[in-house]
Amino acid sequence: MVKSIWFIVAVTMSVHAQDADVQRDCLSCHQTQQIPNSLIYKRYLMKYSTKTAIENAMIKYLKNPKKSESIMPSAFFLKFPMRKGLIMPETMLHQNIRSFIETFDVKKKLKIKVN
């Protein structure tokens, strides 16, 4: 019983820790610059459909940002400057992107209206 409680606490803390990392490493900067995170995620979703494909596309872009490979239209970069490639440990990068995807996952928002 004690072991189970410790396990649940550990998992919860780990999830929160991941959310905190995304907040610190990605979203805080986006929020400061007023970059619409939800819109970016929806554009990825509309182009790649699956979470795996979105994750791979994001990693590719973050490691080597190019206008031609960005999900955003070129006009977007008139307001928001293109940043340099992200230097972050691979594991952390993957964790952050998965956390980002989970944060904005539309599946959580979908519901059936009860008439």
Task: Rank residues 42 and 98 by Cβ distance to other proteins and give the closer one.
Answer: 42
Ramachandran region of residue 49, left (φ > 0), alpha (ψ -120 to 50) or beta?
Answer: left
Task: Rank residues 84 and 111 by Cβ distance to other proteins and give the closer one.
Answer: 111
Using CB under 8 A, list all residues that contact other proteins.
Answer: 38, 42, 45-53, 106-107, 109-113, 115
Q: How far is the CB of 97 from other proteins (least distance, A)?
A: 16
Q: How far is the CB of 52 from other proteins (least distance, A)?
A: 8
